[in-house]
Structures are given as structure tokens and as C-alpha cells.
Structure 1
Amino acid sequence: MTWSSGDPPHDCHLSVSLSDERRARLVERALAVEVGEIDDARSSATVAREADTVSVHVAAADLVALRAGVNTWTRFLDTAEQMLAVADDA
């Protein structure tokens, strides 16, 4: 995605620290498959990991698109963490 004036006018960084690097790697891999799949003309996202922390950067052309993107990626992060908890209980 390219923005008409260079950098996107709105962006948000989400990050979550997990209990260990293995869990962070699992969450990153689960989220990474969604990058590019839900991007549109108004917003995009990237996922990265450093040690036990997973980060999501959401960029958007307007605040409505930013809110929608942040809500989506927050749900993805929450779902991935819930699945880890379920796997721990199994």
C-alpha cells in the first residue's frame, strides 16, 4: 500500500509480552498469515516479534479505518492468546 504523501496519516502500535519466546513465536506465526489478507485501500498492518514480545503496527488513511484495524488486530491477538491457554489446559 502506498500513501499519497508518504507516511500514513494515522497509525497505532500494539504489543503484547508473552511468558516466553516460544509462545511469542507461535502467536506471531498465527497472526502473520493474516497480514495482507485484510489490508485494503485505507489501512494495512504488519506483525513482528522480538524475543517474547509480539508487535502489530496498524496504519490507516483515516481514523475510522484505524479504529477498525486496531479492533481487528486486537481480536486476533486475544484469540491467539486464548488458544495458547486452551492448549496449555489440554
Structure 2
Amino acid sequence: MTAPHQTRLAAEYDTADRARAIERSIRPEIDDIEGDRTTARLSRDGQRVEIIVEAADLVALRAGINTWLTLRGVAETVSGGCD
């Protein structure tokens, strides 16, 4: 999908292990959530995790951002013991 709208959701964690735990928690959702109007990519570099959300329109972008921020928040909550 080549989408006209895009945002990057980046977070830096205290340790690379915590970032890895967040990435591993989110990664399975990448292929499961994609739709006709929104896609997402996930990457990690050391302590930084980045999710790129692309969408065909602004409504889909807002929905995608909300979805990925929620998933990242849940992953952060459950991985709290990884520090």
C-alpha cells in the first residue's frame, strides 16, 4: 500500500531487553490487523521501537494510531517486569 498519510510512533526504553519484549509483543499483530485502508510496520534499533502507520485517509490514520498506541501501551504494561 502506498498511502498518502503516515505517522511514526517511536518510543525509547530503559534497556534493549525491554524494547525487545515490547517489539515481540506487538509483532504478531502487524499481519493480523492490516486492512484495506491502513498498514503498519514495526522496527527496533537497540532501545528504540518504532511503529509506522500508513493510511489511505485521515480517518483510517486516526483509527490506526489509536490501535497501535493501545497495543503498545498494553505491551509496556505487561513487560514492566523486564527492566
Measure, in 1, the Cα distance between the counterparts of 2:75 and 2:20.
11
**SS of 2:24's equivalent?**
helix
> 1:9 corresponds to which letter in structure 2?
P
> 1:82 corresponds to which letter in structure 2?
T
Match of 1:61 among 56, 59, 64: 56
Quote how far apart the aligned CAs of 1:84 are.
1.6
**SS of 1:34's equivalent?**
helix
Normalised to the residue count of structure 1, the TM-score between the two structures is: 0.86
Matched, 1:14 2:9: yes
**SS of 1:41's equivalent?**
coil
In the TM superposition, 1:32-43 aligns within 5 A as 32-43=27-38
Quote how far apart the aligned CAs of 1:29 are.
0.8
Aligned identity (percent) is 37
Tell me how large the CA RMSD over aligned residues is: 1.0
**SS of 1:37's equivalent?**
helix
Segments of 5+ residues of structure 1 without an aligned counterpart are none
Q: Match of 2:79?
A: 84
Quote how far apart the aligned CAs of 1:41 are.
0.6
Matched, 1:26 2:49: no
Segments of 5+ residues of structure 2 without an aligned counterpart are none
Moved over 2 A (4+): none
Match of 2:42 among 30, 47, 67: 47
Q: Which has the higher contact order (CA 8 A, sep 6+)?
A: 2
Measure, in 2, the Cα distance between the counterparts of 1:12 and 1:42.
14
Aligned residues: 82
